[in-house]
A = this chain, B = another copy of it.
């Protein structure tokens, strides 16, 4: 069974899956619920410290809430590890600090024993005006909240033994403030847990538009040469927000315009005057990146 077949079968069983968080209408507003699995072999290279593991486990879930324009209410964290000597305290400390920095709280969890270390976080949020993946319209401009390459560079640092710098990059700040500023303004939004390339295809399928991206405008983290743009494009785990909006509606903020939504389908990269199709890569299981996580999460329930 291909991953596509699998995902379409999942869609049949979980028809409400399709956005970064599940949306639950509640008392005149919407609750957001999301869950994310991280585990040692896929997500924590040698050198990742426990505090960073806990921080990152919470941050990936808060990033999903950010991608819907939501406000986080609480996070729970489940830990499973080979023995009780695992550095649970450091993990919980990092998880708690990340939640607190985002204005919410680590409120509980579950503890278990397994051969491989697993950290699973579930986040609860609220969004009065949730931003779906499906609302991009031709003519909308395409934006990022910041430069790409965070995890790409972190893994390079880990592989070279620069653990301090690598851990710092791994402890990213979820773009909650930016997401909330964009609620009611962005027409579609997603967080870059998968690659920019794959995320563009997701927005494209959900919205029924294509995208034209200007290669020169894609911001890269300091330390990444422009020649590596294509690697970064397909790499993933940048954890910036990718969104569309009509330019006149955008409030001041750290937005970087990188292209626009087009009526014709397909994702095209404009580079030195030439147009090139961007393939739907950067999300396969087993790809050589830190986390090939796949999100089932969710199609927005139509009001």
Contacts and interface: CB of A to CB of B under 8 A. Distances in A.
Contacts of A93: 13
Given A31-B73, A34-B108, A80-B37, A9 B116 contact: no
Given A42-B114, A80-B39, A88-B9, A33 B107 contact: yes
A116 B113 contact: no
A106 B11 CA distance: 11
A76 B24 contact: no
A78 B114 contact: no
Contact of A108 (B2, B42, B96, B298): B298
Interface in A56-115: 73-74, 76-78, 80, 84-85, 88-89, 92-93, 96, 105-115
A122 interface: yes
A76 B76 CA distance: 13
Interface stretch (A202-210, A235-243, A251-259, A288-296): A288-296
A183 interface: no
Interface in A1-34: 1-3, 6, 9-10, 13-14, 16-17, 21-24, 26-27, 29, 31, 33-34
Contacts of A92: 10, 13-14
Contact of A116 (B6, B115, B120, B294): B115
A83 to B, nearest CB: 9
B297 A24 contact: no
Contacts of A116: 114-116
A113 B14 contact: no
A159 interface: no
Contacts of A140: none
Interface string A109-153: 111111110101010101000000000000000000000000000
A176 interface: no
Contact of A106 (B14, B88, B112, B295): B14
Interface of A: 1-3, 6, 9-10, 13-14, 16-17, 21-24, 26-27, 29, 31, 33-37, 39, 41-42, 73-74, 76-78, 80, 84-85, 88-89, 92-93, 96, 105-116, 118, 120, 122, 124, 126, 285-286, 292-298
Given A17-B108, A111-B293, 4 more contacts: A10-B88, A23-B107, A24-B124, A37-B78
26 contacts: A3-B84, A10-B89, A13-B89, A13-B93, A14-B96, A14-B108, A17-B107, A17-B108, A23-B107, A24-B74, A31-B73, A31-B124, A34-B76, A34-B108, A35-B108, A35-B120, A35-B122, A39-B112, A76-B122, A84-B285, A107-B297, A107-B298, A111-B293, A111-B295, A112-B292, A112-B294
